């Protein structure tokens, strides 16, 4: 039974991933995938080392994620603050709006009922 060895790697810079892989005793690197999930960068690839892996597989799947730096944390905090402020302002504006909207009347003109027609004495003849 072939098993897969997974390795999780946290780095500060995406270029550190390749530096780390080149520092390993690696025979082959392939199946690179780059993703951004919720603002975080993830790189996964298959690494075939020159040395023998103990668990009965010849390759290692490496999943590397870029740890957010100061600039990224500051940008995320500013975005969150802006979203909370926008929500607060929207809620404040909604509080000043009237709660119930008075529906417009369905009849826009007054209707008058006319008196019944009188038959005059001239019409009877």
Span 66-115, pLDDT tens digits? 887 788 788 888 999 999 999 999 999 888 887 777 776 676 667 778 78
Span 88-98, pLDDT tens digits? 999 998 888 87
Residue 32: which H helix or E strand, with range? strand 26-37
Query: How many Å apart are CA 80 and CA 89, to the nearest integer?
Result: 14
3-state secondary structure 56-99: CCCCEEEEEEECCCHHHHHHHHHHHHHHHHHHHHHHHHHHHCCC
CB 12 within 8 A of CB 72: no
Confidence (pLDDT) at 83: 94
Q: Among 57, 64, 80, which Cα is nearest to 32's?
A: 64
Span 4-57, pLDDT tens digits? 677 787 888 778 887 888 788 788 888 888 888 877 788 888 888 777 766 667
Query: How many Å apart are CA 97 and CA 42, to the nearest integer?
Result: 45
For the whole model, what pTM was predicted?
A: 0.49
Per DSSP bridges, beta strands 40-49 and 60-66 are antiparallel
């Amino acid at each position: 039974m072939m098993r897969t060895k997974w390795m999780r790697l946290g780095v500060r810079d995406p270029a550190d991933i390749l530096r780390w892989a080149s520092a390993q005793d690696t025979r082959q690197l392939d199946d690179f995938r780059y993703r951004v999930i919720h603002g975080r960068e993830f790189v996964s690839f298959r690494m075939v080392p020159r040395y023998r892996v103990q668990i009965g597989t010849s390759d290692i799947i490496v999943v590397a994620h870029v740890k957010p730096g100061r600039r990224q944390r500051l940008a995320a905090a500013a975005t969150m603050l802006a979203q909370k402020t926008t929500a607060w302002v929207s809620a404040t504006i909604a509080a000043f709006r009237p709660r119930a909207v008075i529906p417009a009347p369905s009849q826009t003109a007054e209707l008058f009922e006319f008196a019944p027609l009188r038959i005059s004495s001239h019409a009877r003849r």
